[in-house]
């Protein structure tokens, strides 16, 4: 297979043509999304035939979820959940910013580092 020719690239799970890698391997979007959902759900799949009898026939997508997932693992797919970026204010020390509320709906006071910033 020529690395520079994208027409030769095939999904390592179901063998359909692919244009870019997913999760570290040449995989189609359908197999990549299946793999991601399987990882995030944490479900354990059981082979329909028992003993991985329905493992991949090249050019066809395995119907059995267990065998499809196993094919993803064997092909080298790796999915790591990205850490969520917390709200920027989460990391600011509590004493850095103070809000003062009023019973008057039209008035609000914001104090940052002890300096009165706004009043409206």
Could you tell me the domains of the chain?
A: 6-75 (3.30.50.10), 88-119 (no CATH)
Q: What is the pTM of this model?
A: 0.56
Q: Tens digit of pLDDT for each residue in 61-104?
A: 657 888 888 888 988 998 876 655 555 545 545 554 454 555 66
Q: Strands, DSSP E only, in the chain?
A: 21-22, 25-26, 97-101, 108-112, 115-119
Tracing tokens 């793999």 back to the chain, one arrives at 35
The whole-angstrom separation of Cα 75 and Cα 95 is: 51
Contact between 22 and 32 under an 8 Å Cβ cutoff? The reply is yes
Q: Tens digit of pLDDT for each residue in 13-28?
A: 888 888 888 888 999 9
């Amino acid at each position: 297979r020529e690395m520079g020719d994208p027409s030769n690239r095939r999904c390592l799970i179901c063998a359909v043509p692919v244009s870019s890698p997913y999760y570290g391997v040449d995989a189609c979007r359908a197999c990549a999304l299946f793999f991601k959902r399987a990882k995030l759900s944490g479900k354990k799949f059981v082979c329909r035939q028992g003993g991985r009898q329905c493992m991949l026939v090249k050019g066809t997508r395995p119907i059995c979820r267990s065998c499809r997932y196993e094919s993803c693992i064997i092909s080298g797919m790796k999915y790591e959940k990205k850490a969520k970026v917390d709200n920027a204010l989460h990391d600011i020390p509590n004493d850095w910013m103070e809000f003062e509320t009023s019973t008057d709906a039209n008035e609000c006071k914001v104090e940052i580092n002890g300096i009165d910033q706004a009043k409206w």
